[in-house]
Amino acid sequence: MPDHPPRIPAELADLSVPLSDLNRYHRNPRTGDLTAIQESLTANGQYRPIVVNKGTHTSRPNEILAGNHTFTAAQQLGWDTIAATWIDVDDEAAARIVLVDNRTNDLAGYDTVLLAEILAELPDYAGTGYDQESVDDLLDGIAIPSVLPAETAESEGERAKDEHLTWGYVQWGPTRVQITSEEVERLDGAHAAYYEKRGTDAGFAHYLLDPHAQEGQAVA
């Protein structure tokens, strides 16, 4: 991702209009997280246009129906233009569009396991609306499977895939404990370094649990 992506990508450039020509919806009941939207605009640019009502039938020209907070965040960032699409509807239709644009977001949900996997694949959370605390909260809320996937290897001592770490927990015997994403990263890194140095992960648990075993045997 470039350090400074274009505010409006080339594909939306023909839709650009001056922010000074537009007006917020006069009765928008939605409150938005302007900080998160500003972060997204900074990291991602404007990836979809806002929707503006021409106002022929409402006597309120150039009124934003979808994207009021994107408009405000762009203003606060000092933007001069924004990409917009246009419709021309009466008061009733305008109100319905404003309400459904907000309500469909409220009604949506997540596959939290898939969401956590996608977040884990990113190098950082810039422009996603997430931070480390919210990701840890997400992981804490994921139901841990009642049955763990089996860890198998072709031969003794071969490195097996750490499904425990993917889920954000560790287990020994009947004991299962959730750990934070930072702890996952540190433990996985230690495991990878241990295996790389020795060609086996036999003795890794002893290495972690016994401080004397680690003296003079740094693996990273």
The pLDDT, as a whole number, for residue 136 is 79
pLDDT above 70 (res 50): yes
Residue with tokens 């990878």, as numbered in its chain: 192
The whole-chain average pLDDT of the chain stands at: 83
How does residue 169 score in pLDDT terms, banded at 50, 70 and 90? low
**pLDDT per position as a tens digit, 98-148:** 999 989 988 888 888 788 888 888 888 899 999 888 887 877 776 655 554
- Do strands 16-18 and 169-172 pair parallel, antiparallel, or not at all (unpaired)? unpaired
Mean pLDDT of 152-169: 52
Using CA atoms, how far apart are residues 159 and 152, in angstroms rounded to an integer? 9
Q: Measuring CA to CA, how many Å separate 24 from each of 61, 70, 128? A: 10, 10, 25
How does residue 215 score in pLDDT terms, banded at 50, 70 and 90? low
Claim: this prediction has a pTM higher than 0.75 = no
Q: How far is CA 63 from the centre of its chain?
A: 30
How does residue 41 score in pLDDT terms, banded at 50, 70 and 90? very high
pLDDT above 80 (res 57): yes
Mean pLDDT of 158-170: 54
How does residue 220 score in pLDDT terms, banded at 50, 70 and 90? very low
